[in-house]
Amino acid sequence: MSDMARTAVPLCALLMALFSVVTAAAGGAAAALETVEDVDLDRYMGRWHQIALLPNRFQAMCEAETTATYSPLPDGRVRVVNACRDEGGTLQRAEGVARLNAEYDDPARLEVRFAPAWLGFLPFVWGDYWILALEPDYSAVLVGAPDRDYLWVLARTPRIPRETYERLLDVARGQGFDVSALRLERPDAVDAARATND
């Protein structure tokens, strides 16, 4: 690993930890957000490609190939590995863990920590990860936070059909997210890219 890559990894982790603090601090403000029922976390495991997102500071360095990979841990939690390439092509990676939010005990309402494990006892290092819409075949998902400042469209492949994208946007729009601010990961991330965020 190059010196640049070694520097980038802790920087990315630090920014992810900051995101956890910000979302956790604001997370309780909008409890009316609806999530998917009966999420099967075993089926949810694996790699997801970012299709679109509400831009945020902790992903500001990401320019391409943004993915999230989930795998089960022996203690029932989930290993999270987020990765992307920055403007110079350097791979940025951040590893964290996800767990059920004890307040809800709902597999669609998780909380994620990218801060060091020894800080895990602090509530504010955990950020909300709520599954708001999920395709029946687990091919695409809408993930957000209850403060409505964070939103992602993820898929098993780097491109998704326009109908799928529009369907997920309809859910986000109906739950009060500003979908006009969504940014596509790449211009062709949505097939027949006439899809709009209005």
Consecutive H or E run containing 113: strand 109-113
pLDDT of 105:
83
Confidence of residue 52 (pLDDT cuts 50, 70, 90): very high
What burial letters (b/e) apply to 23-58, b meaning 16+ CB within 10 Å? bbebbeeeeebebbeebebeebeeebbbbbbbebeb
pLDDT in tens, 73-126: 999 999 999 999 999 999 999 999 999 998 888 999 999 887 445 444 344 457
The CATH homologous superfamily to which domain 3-184 belongs is Calycin beta-barrel core domain (2.40.128.20)
Alpha helices by DSSP H, listed for the chain, are 3-26, 41-44, 162-174
Q: Give the predicted TM-score (pTM) of the model.
A: 0.79
The candidate with the shortest Cα–Cα distance to 59, out of 38, 96, 85, 27, is 85
pLDDT in tens, 123-162: 445 789 999 999 999 999 999 999 999 999 999 999 999 9
The candidate with the shortest Cα–Cα distance to 50, out of 17, 4, 92, 18, is 92
Provide the Cα torsion 66, 115, 96, 23; round to 10°: -60
